[in-house]
Amino acid sequence: MTFTDQAIVERFNRTLAERLFEHQYAVEMLLPEGQRSTAWVKRLPEVVSALNNEVTSLIGKKPAVDIKEKSVYARPSTPYTRPVGKSEKILPSFIQVRYLYQPGELEGGVKRATDPIWSLKVFGIERSFSKPEQPVLYYLRDGSKRGFVREELLAVPPNTQLPPEQL
């Protein structure tokens, strides 16, 4: 599960808890002190059903419909403050870049506070891919196979002295 996937699940869980426990707290306020309500257990199926049948802002569709799809396009949760898509300035293929590690990518799953956040090696851009109203995706030569948006790449100036590959 990627960080983005986890964020989507966490947001769903937050919304679910808000809807379930808002009602529960109202019921508990009417009960004698110290007693707890389990009203949320009975309400859970109807609240989950309601959430799955509401149009979401990120995908513009009902999750109950999109859950059957092989892949789903989600709009960005925050609007871009830079040109995106056809009007975006594309990085030249000769430029050298480092890429932003995903959480745990360097150590194979466990992230330490002292781990670098940018790739240790420098890569060239193999190709770029653009769709209307979406950021340009860059693919690296001899690097990670996933695509990167501009914010996930760090351009290395041409005159930078790089450390030796092996000592």
Task: State mean pLDDT over 143-150.
Answer: 85
Q: Is the pLDDT of residue 13 over 90?
A: no
Round to whole Å and give the CA distance between 122 and 118: 10
Amino acid at 38: T
Task: State mean pLDDT over 73-82.
Answer: 68
pLDDT tier, 108 (very low <50, low <70, confident <90, very high otherwise): low
Of all helices (H) and strands (E), which one includes residue 125? strand 123-129
**3-state secondary structure at position 138:** strand
pLDDT at 97: 92
Computed over every residue of the chain, the mean pLDDT equals 80
Q: Is the pLDDT of residue 119 over 80?
A: yes
The strands making up 137-140's β-sheet, listed across from edge to edge, are: 137-140, 123-129, 96-99, 153-156
Residue 90 · residue 82 · CB < 8 Å = no
Residue 128 · residue 147 · CB < 8 Å = no
Selection from 85, 67, 68, 63 nearest residue 76 by Cα? 85
Q: Residue ranges per domain, the chain?
A: 3-66, 80-167
User: What is Dmax (Cα atoms) for the chain?
Assistant: 73
Query: To the nearest whole percent, how much of the chain has pLDDT over 90?
Result: 10
